[in-house]
Amino acid sequence: AAEPLVLGIETSCDETGIGIVRGSTLLANVISSSMEEHARFGGVVPEIAARAHLEALGPAITAALAEAGVGLDEIDAVAVTSGPGLAGALMVGVGAAKALAVALDRPLYAVNHLVGHVGADVLRDDGTAIELPTVALLVSGGHTSLLLVRDLVSDVELLGETIDDAAGEAFDKVARLLGLPYPGGPQIDRAAVGGDPRSIRFPRGLSQAKDLERHRYDFSFSGLKTSVARWVEQKRDAGEAVPLADVAASFRESVADVLVAKAVAACLDLGVPRLLLGGGVVANARVRELAAERCAEAGIELRIPPLALCTDNGAMIAALGAQLIMAGHAPSGLGFSADSTLPV
């Protein structure tokens, strides 16, 4: 059979993503972000995100069809993120996907957002296919999860996740207390240039022997954030200047160190010589650098999809839908709901 032409819809957070793929070939990846509307609140406001999806979806679908050079009637199937994510935001995408599927009389596939990040890897155009099993580290403003992927569509295991803030959220919160604008990740990355990452020893969350017993693959960033806040406050109280580059570099080092250490530990523990990265925090220069260094040392193959496929997007959802179809899975029907805490 010909490879299926799938339209994917992603609305779990602040990005309205519409992607179109044919099998594992990327045809269109249109993203409309409401990031700017959230900036003055210092984080994503669910109600604003949902409303923005409602406004952006129609134009994004039109733009994606034009980019792919296909007509709506040619679409073989629709795939949509049904969770996890912001409930109201998810509902807008799920509603649109159902309407499309009914109108076109095509099958609809509900997919998991986190697994979608893993599925993005099949869209790389370097001709290499992902080998399985792989460990996947997914880090964004909304999630920080470590997964063991044995099969892209039917065997994904959650090894661990953050017990408080997501890594991107920690970047955003620390940027805010340093007086840097939202989103904070790129700001801190920039501010850290020239800073000494060893100048301040910020804590590594859930990395001490006692934590590792229960939380070997879990993450925690709220203690780190508090520690940075206290350090900066003490400087300010003492009337001293805050060395921005050193604070940014030291904070970034702590996050990168913990993320990479736990991901590499999982690979070694499980005997899986492959690590896939995904999520917006993968844009972080130090996270990429440290992952490359430690994976090379440990003999682990590191895979990082292009950034446009790492951040939230509809193409990865379409790609996962196509994988489901090609593996012979039944469609989801029209009775499913959005699930903000959908497990993998």
Q: Which residues are near ligand KG4 by CB under 6 A?
A: 13-14, 140-142, 168-169, 171-172, 183-186, 189, 279-281, 283-284, 311-312
Residue 89 CB, nearest approach to Zn ion (Å)? 12
- Closer to ligand KG4 by CB, 172 or 218: give it: 172
284 touches which of Zn ion, ligand KG4, none (CB within 5 to 8 A by kind)?
ligand KG4
130 touches which of ligand KG4, Zn ion, none (CB within 5 to 8 A by kind)?
none
Residue 261 zone, left/alpha/beta (φ > 0; ψ -120 to 50; rest):
alpha
Name the residue among 160, 186, 161 with its Cα closest to residue 171. 186
- Report yes or no: 21 and 123 within 8 Å, Cβ to Cβ: yes
38 is in an annotated binding site: no
172 is in an annotated binding site: yes
Residue 94 CB, nearest approach to Zn ion (Å)? 16
- Report yes or no: 129 and 23 within 8 Å, Cβ to Cβ: no
141 is in an annotated binding site: yes
Residue 198 CB, nearest approach to Zn ion (Å)? 31
257 touches which of Zn ion, ligand KG4, none (CB within 5 to 8 A by kind)?
none
- Closer to ligand KG4 by CB, 189 or 218: give it: 189
171 touches which of Zn ion, ligand KG4, none (CB within 5 to 8 A by kind)?
ligand KG4
How far apart are the two ends of the chain, measured CA to CA in Å? 29
**Which residues are within 8 A (CB) of 15 and not within 5 positions of it... i.e. 6 or more apart?**
31, 32, 33, 34, 35, 311, 312, 313
- Report yes or no: 103 and 133 within 8 Å, Cβ to Cβ: no
195 is in an annotated binding site: no
134 touches which of ligand KG4, Zn ion, none (CB within 5 to 8 A by kind)?
none
Distance CA 206, CA 216 (A): 8
- Report yes or no: 92 and 63 within 8 Å, Cβ to Cβ: no
Amino acid at 114: L
284 is in an annotated binding site: yes
Site of interaction with Zn ion (CB under 5 A): 140, 312
151 is in an annotated binding site: no
SS3 67: helix
CA separation, residue 17 to residues 14, 87, 221, 239, 260 (Å): 9, 16, 28, 46, 28
**Which residues are within 8 A (CB) of 219 and not within 5 positions of it... i.e. 6 or more apart?**
144, 146, 160, 161, 162, 163, 167, 205, 206, 258, 259, 262
- Closer to Zn ion by CB, 100 or 118: give it: 118
185 touches which of Zn ion, ligand KG4, none (CB within 5 to 8 A by kind)?
ligand KG4
- Closer to ligand KG4 by CB, 24 or 144: give it: 144
43 touches which of ligand KG4, Zn ion, none (CB within 5 to 8 A by kind)?
none
**Which residues are within 8 A (CB) of 16 and not within 5 positions of it... i.e. 6 or more apart?**
10, 31, 32, 33, 34, 52, 53, 56, 57, 60, 93
- Closer to ligand KG4 by CB, 152 or 316: give it: 316
- Closer to ligand KG4 by CB, 84 or 279: give it: 279
- Closer to ligand KG4 by CB, 10 or 246: give it: 10
Distance CA 147, CA 321 (A): 19
> Binding site membership for substrate: which residues?
138-142, 172, 185, 189, 284
> Binding site membership for Fe cation: which residues?
113, 117, 312
> Binding site membership: which residues?
113, 117, 138-142, 172, 185, 189, 284, 312
